[in-house]
Amino acid sequence: MAAPMSRFVNRIVHRKFKDYSLPAFSRHKLLYLSVLNTKKFTNVYLQVNVLPKLKPVFRGLSDQRHARKCWKCSKLTNEETDLFFCKCGVVQAVPSDLDYFEVMALPHSFDIDINNLTKLYKDLQWKLHPDKFSQKSKEEQTHAAIQSSFINKAYFTLLKPLSRGLYLLELQGNPVDEKNTSVDPEFLMEIMEINEDVIEVASKSVVLTEIENVNRSKMDACIKLISKAFKEDDILVAKEQLVKLKYYSKVDDTIKDVHRSKMG
């Protein structure tokens, strides 16, 4: 329940507690929280004044998430042990608040085990492939197709560092808004020059490969900084480096397209 809990607390903070009855938050305390807005103060204040009052709410949410009825046999199922199938054998619907990390049995972290992710993905796709349910009821076919599609989205989102980092920020309530995110002009000039170099040397495989290697080393450097930023809960740096990684990734895609075009 780590992710639902964090999202729930985050929603409370961003709404400034308008919709919740929390006596500890008087008007002057809310103003103080908004003005300071430091990680240290916010974390301490939440732990001391908010989380104790929300524990009963979290327990209620947990009970609801882990107790749902099977659409076929009407028996109670548990989303942790019966996430994909009821004990009666039929495919279950995807929970509305399930996120990609949860469905792939991974911690809500930027640093994940890609091998475990891929292994679970292949196993789930084998179990839930729509072709395996061609002789089942229309309802079960629908659930299987939705489950399979959801697993696909989860896998490919978490597989790449860029999409994984952006998704993690969304879950934390801090999505990257490129319209309101300033990018260093010097960095943009660097990207333009790289793209120009790619066009100029498109016919020279050796030089193009050199550019590709340099660009990927810059991507790796961004990934290390993003990992460090998430570990230190430094959202600003995480956003800044994810935006840079996005630009470098576009360059990488361009180079790949050039390679493919040369192969016919």
Beta-carbon neighbour count of residue 193 at 10 Å? 10
Q: Is the pLDDT of residue 223 over 80?
A: yes
What's the one-letter identity of residue 212? E
- Mean pLDDT of the region 131-138: 90
Q: What are the tokens at 201?
A: 């040397």
- Mean pLDDT of the region 192-202: 93
- Same domain for 249 and 229: yes
What's the DSSP call for residue 246? H
Residue 232 lies in a domain: yes
Dmax of the chain from CA atoms?
69
* Structural domain boundaries, residue 87: 72-159
- What pLDDT, on the 0 to 100 scale, is given for residue 66? 56
Residue 170 lies in a domain: no
Is the distance from CB of 130 to CB of 142 less than 8 angstroms? no
Q: What's 211's domain CATH number?
A: 1.20.1280.20
Is the distance from CB of 172 to CB of 138 less than 8 angstroms? no
Q: Which tens digits make up the pLDDT trace of 82-119? A: 888 988 889 988 888 889 999 999 999 999 999 999 99
Q: What are the tokens at 36?
A: 């300071």
Q: What are the tokens at 244?
A: 């840079």
CB proximity list for 93: less than 8 A, separation 6 or greater: 71, 143, 146
Q: Is the pLDDT of residue 198 over 50?
A: yes
Residue 189 lies in a domain: yes
The count of structural domains within the chain is 3
Residue 169 lies in a domain: no
- Mean pLDDT of the region 188-213: 93
What is the pLDDT confidence band of residue 65, given thresholds at 50, 70 and 90? low
- Same domain for 186 and 253: yes
Residue-wise burial string across 63-100, b where 16 or more C-beta atoms lie within 10 A, e elsewhere? eebbebebebeeeebebeebbbbbeeebbbebeeebbb
- Mean pLDDT of the region 124-152: 92
Q: Is the pLDDT of residue 53 over 50?
A: no
Give φ, ψ of 142 to 5 degrees.
Answer: -65, -45
- Same domain for 29 and 103: no
Share of the chain above pLDDT 90, in %: 53
Q: What are the tokens at 196?
A: 């120009």
Q: What's 134's domain CATH number?
A: 1.10.287.110
Domain boundary among 129, 159, 189: 159
- What pLDDT, on the 0 to 100 scale, is given for residue 80? 74
- What pLDDT, on the 0 to 100 scale, is given for residue 11? 44
How many secondary structure helices (H) and strands (E) does the chain include? 11, 2
Alpha helices for 180-234 (secondary structure H)? 185-200, 205-231
Q: pTM higher than 0.85 for the full model?
A: no
- What pLDDT, on the 0 to 100 scale, is given for residue 264? 65
What is the pLDDT confidence band of residue 49, given thresholds at 50, 70 and 90? low
Helix (H) or strand (E) run with residue 6 in it:
helix 2-14
Share of the chain above pLDDT 70, in %: 73
What CA–CA distance (Å, rounded) separates 226 from 245?
9
The mean pLDDT of the chain is 80
- Same domain for 58 and 33: yes
Domain boundary among 65, 87, 113: 65
Cβ-count burial of 244 within 10 angstroms (0-12 exposed, 13-18 middle, 19+ buried)? buried
Beta strands in the chain (DSSP E): 68-69, 76-77
- Same domain for 49 and 90: no
